[in-house]
Amino acid sequence: MRGTTGTSSGSTEAPGPGENLQSSRRHRILLALIACASLLAALPAGAGAAPRAHRSIVGGLPANTAQWPFAVAIFRKGHMHCSGSVVSPTRVLTAGHCVDGFNVANFQVIVGRPTLRDTSVGQTIGVVSGRVHPDFEQTGLHDVATLDLAQPVSVAPVALATPDQSAATASPGAVLQVAGYGATNPFGTHLSGFLKSTVEQVRADSRCLKAYTRDLFAPESMICALGPKRKHGGRFKIHTTACSGDSGGPLVADVGGTPVEVGTVSYGGALCGLPAAPTVYSRVSTSLGFING
Q: Would you say residue 191 has pLDDT above 90?
A: no
Q: What is the pLDDT of residues 68-108, one digit of tens each?
A: 999 999 999 999 999 999 999 999 999 999 999 999 999 99
3-state secondary structure of 142: coil
Dihedral-angle region of residue 245 (phi above 0 means left; psi in -120 to 50 means alpha; beta otherwise): left
3-state secondary structure of 78: coil
Which pTM value belongs to this model? 0.81
Q: Would you say residue 255 has pLDDT above 60?
A: yes
3-state secondary structure of 205: helix
Domains of the chain: 1-293 (2.40.10.10)
The pLDDT of residue 232 is 58
Q: Would you say residue 118 has pLDDT above 70?
A: yes
The pLDDT of residue 185 is 72
- 205-212 and 23-41 helices cross at what angle (nearest 10)? 90
β-sheet bridge partners, residue 88: 91
Q: Would you say residue 221 has pLDDT above 90?
A: yes
